[in-house]
Amino acid sequence: MGLKVVALAGGVGGAKLADGLAAILAPEDLTVIVNTGDDFEHLGLTICPDLDTVVYTLAGLANPETGWGRRDETWAFLDTLEGFGGPTWFRLGDRDLALHILRTNRLRSGQPLSQIVGDVCRSLGVAPRILPMTDDRVRTIVLTDEGDLPFQEYFVARGFEPAVRGFRFDGAERARPAPGVLESLEEAEAVVLCPSNPWVSLDPILALPGLRQAVARRPVVAISPIIAGRAVKGPAAKMYREMGIEPSPAAFAKHFGGLLAGLVMDTADAALAPDLEASGLRTLIRPTLMQSREDRRELAEATLALAVDVMKERAAR
C-alpha cells in the first residue's frame, strides 16, 4: 500500500498496531514515533520500555505472553541479583540486558538515543523507521493521592494502585523532537494514533514543542484503546475514572480536542458511533482486540482505509 504514514505509539497496543502497519506498508513509508516519557534509570542502566516493546515486536522477538521483554528469555541475572538483595521489581531478562547495557554505554559516551535505536533496528532487521520522540530527557511523573511518582514506580513497582490526580512530563517543554520526527510528520500523508494510553503514552509525545501542531496539519486517525469501558491492558480506564471521566471511545476522542479526523472503535462500542459521527468525527466499527498477528494486520488495514476515506473527503471539499 503506497501511503506515507507516521504512527505515534506507546506500549504493547501501540507496538502491535505498528507491527500491523509494518506488515502492509513499505518500510520507507512507515515511521513510528515512540514515547520515551516512561524511560528511567534503573541499576545505573537507561531503560526505554516503550521503545524496546516496539522494536522487539517488529523484530518478532517480543514475548507473546507479557507483551514486553523478549521471547525465550532466561533469568539467571535476576535470580543472582535477588541473592545479593538487589531490586527485582523491574524484570530484566538476560537477553534483554544486552540492549540495556549497550544503549546505556553508548548514551554515556554521548551518542543520541535516536542513532542507537537506528543501529539496533538495523541489527535486528527492523526495516521501518523507529524514532524516539526525543533524544532529550523527558520523564512522565504521575501525580497521585500518595504523591508524585516517577512513571515506572507508579506502573511497575506500585502496580498502578495509587489514584491518579494528574500528569506531568518533566523536561518536555525544553526537549527537541528527535531528528526525523518533525520531518516525517511533514512528509506524512496520514498520522495514526495507535491504541495506546492517551495520558501516559500519547500525551508525552504531543507535549513536545511543535509536535501537536505538526500532527494537526495532517489527517489524523486513531484506534480507541478503550473497549466497552475497559482498557485491554494497563491503567488507561482506571486513570479516566480517577480523573472523573467515564472511559469510552468518545472520551478518548475528546481527550485530543479537535485533533482526530477519524476513529476506529470496537464493535462493542458501536452504539456510540452515531453521536461521534454527528459531531464530525469519521468512525469505523471493527473488532479491535489484537490477539494474532493477522488481527494486527487487519486492524492496521482498516485504520489506513479510514485514513484514506478522510483524505478523500478532505480532497473533495
Minimum distance of a second copy from residue 110's CB (angstroms): 13
Q: Does 98 bind a second copy (CB under 8 A)?
A: yes
Sign of CA dihedral 46, 48, 51, 53: positive
Give the end-to-end CA distance of the chain in Å, rounded to a whole number. 24
Strand partners, 223: 264
State the minimum distance, in angstroms, from the CB of residue 65 to a second copy: 18
Q: Is 110 an interacting residue with respect to a second copy (CB under 8 A)? A: no
Residue 28 or 79: the one with the smaller Cβ distance to a second copy is 79
Nearer to a second copy, 122 or 230 (CB): 122
Residue of 77, 196, 205 lying closest to 138 (CA atoms): 205
Please identify, using beta-carbon distances, which residue of 119 and 146 lies nearer to a second copy.
Answer: 119
Min CB(218)–a second copy separation in Å: 34
CA distance 120 to 125: 9
Kindly write out the interface string for residues 39-78 of this chain, putting x where it contacts a second copy by CB under 8 A and - elsewhere: ----xxx---------------------------xx-xxx
Out of 108, 174, 176, 230, name the contact with a second copy by CB under 8 A. Answer: 108
Lateral strand order in the sheet of 147-150: 147-150, 139-144, 164-170
Smaller CB separation from a second copy, 117 or 227: 117
Residue 90 is a binding residue for a second copy (CB under 8 A): no
Q: Which is nearer to a second copy, 63 or 212 (CB)?
A: 63
By CB under 8 A, how many residues form the interface with a second copy?
Answer: 28
Among 2, 84, 257, 316, interactor with a second copy by CB under 8 A: 84
Stretch that binds a second copy, among 49-57, 82-90, 270-278, 282-290 (CB under 8 A): 82-90
Q: Which is nearer to a second copy, 101 or 156 (CB)?
A: 101
Measured on CA atoms in the order 57, 63, 64, 68, is the torsion positive or negative?
negative
Closest of 245, 112, 122, 109 to residue 181, by C-alpha:
112
The reply on whether position 157 binds a second copy by CB under 8 A is: no
The binding site for a second copy (CB under 8 A) comprises 43-45, 73-74, 76-81, 83-86, 93-95, 97-99, 101-102, 104-105, 108, 120, 123
